[in-house]
Amino acid sequence: MDIEGFARRERAAGRSREDVVEALTDRILEIKSGVSRAYARQFAAAVVEEVENTSGLTGDLFEYEHANVTMGEFGVGSRGRGDFFAHRQFPRIIGKAAAAVGVDEMDDAGAVRAGGEYIITTVDGMHSRLSDFPFLAGFHVTRATLRDAYVMGAHPIALLSDIHVADDGDVAKIFDYTAGIAAVAEAMNVPLVTGSTLRIGGDMVIGDRMTGCVGAVGVADHLTARKETRPGDVLLMTAGAGGGTIATTALYFGRSEVVEETINLHFLKACEALLRSPVLEQIHTMTDVTNGGLRGDVYEMAETADCKIVVDDGNLRKLVQPQVLEMLDDLEIDYLGVSLDALLIVVPPEYADEVMAVVRSAGVPIAEIGYVEEGPAASVLISEGEERDFQPRFRESAYTPVKKVVDTEPRDFEEMKEQVRRAADAAVAKKERILRRLQNTG
């Protein structure tokens, strides 16, 4: 529970200071065991005092332009249309930078040139629903960030970790989470070299929720970024058993036995084999099937490369691990709209067989699933000889019982987009004002 947020909302709504202190005291006692009412009330009073002292401040350093659209309403983080739109605002705020691959290209990682090589950096957040399963959280987020380095054609050389646990969380969570990271790090011989450990919100968040991220640094000679996708290329995809998302689905639908299928390094081993092979130089693009599933990734690739990508589902289902596919089918979860952690490769057709041979040498199944055409940016699915809807949904496939409840588009999307765009415009303007101040003051 965010106790500062509660106090701020209640005071802003006009509730008296004493009423808020009493209500907050009750909330604290509901969550925190072993504290007296006197302590809880003293704590609540201090929180309300801090809220009052920081309310009503004006100016660039204390205010921001509200979009009046919440993260949940807009589906931010849910790997669908709202999330994609929000992420496309970042390049406008960040501006042009001297990057070989920047945030405007919506790739899995960024790249800069240094010393004649490409330095690749990427970061992934742990799956929010794995808070009660720290080892799984650490394992899957580490595998995810390494994937994002590999698919840029990079050899990962270092990992970094950040973990935040709320005030009432058991200290052991940070150790179990780190063990999950270290298991992947040691298996792939990529050292975990630094990190940070904090409480979520310091004293202001009570409960035992955990969140965190893992970043990776890599080095590459040949980039396999999305912008290199070209008409005439073919799409290859490896088998996938899912990662954090599929593990979460299995856990919260009572299918915990399926979690075991997600504990593997197949994707990373396939990438290692490709990086050791001369055929890497012929690969145009690599990505992992994560963001909104194949629907989301193909859509983003088409947008970035400004071309038409056609996917034929003839080989798709057999590339999903059988137990995982059975679970998704049973639960009526669209396997094309959920993260499968498969490797997607875009390559000229004359090199497709060689690429597939290298991947299979690592023990990973792979098949051709589509091709790239000239034309305006679009993603198309061919199923049983007919074109089918292949647009990303407002959110990725609803893959837990709670997500099935919230899987709605609650407000007019175009209206929300305008409000979000306006807030991004305000952030750009503020950055420029502060930059001018810094430049003038030295």
pLDDT score of 53: 96
Domain holding 344, by residue range, is 224-402
**Distance of alpha carbon 267 from alpha carbon 354, whole angstroms:** 17
pLDDT score of 442: 62
pLDDT score of 94: 85
Same domain, 41 and 68: no
Q: For residue 327, give the H/E element and its range.
A: helix 322-330
Same domain, 77 and 23: no
The two tokens of residue 402 are 């709670």
pLDDT score of 189: 97
**Distance of alpha carbon 337 from alpha carbon 403, whole angstroms:** 13
Number of domains into which the chain is organized: 4
Same domain, 314 and 217: no
pLDDT along the chain (442 residues), means of 10: 95 96 96 93 97 95 94 84 87 81 74 89 94 97 96 96 95 97 98 96 93 96 88 96 95 97 96 96 93 86 91 94 97 92 96 98 97 92 87 80 80 91 96 93 72
* Residue 100 resides in a domain: no
Q: CA quadruple 346, 350, 351, 352: dihedral positive or negative?
A: positive
* Residue 163 resides in a domain: yes
* Residue 408 resides in a domain: no
**Distance of alpha carbon 409 from alpha carbon 8, whole angstroms:** 28
For the chain, the straight-line distance linking the first and the last C-alpha, in angstroms and rounded, comes to 42
* Residue 177 resides in a domain: yes
* Residue 94 resides in a domain: no
Question: What own/partner pairs with CB < 8 Å and gap ≥ 24 does 95-102 have?
Answer: 95/431, 100/223, 101/152, 101/223, 101/225, 101/227
In one letter, which amino acid is 207? G
Provide the CATH number for the domain around residue 217.
3.30.1330.10
Same domain, 204 and 306: no
Length of the chain, please? 442
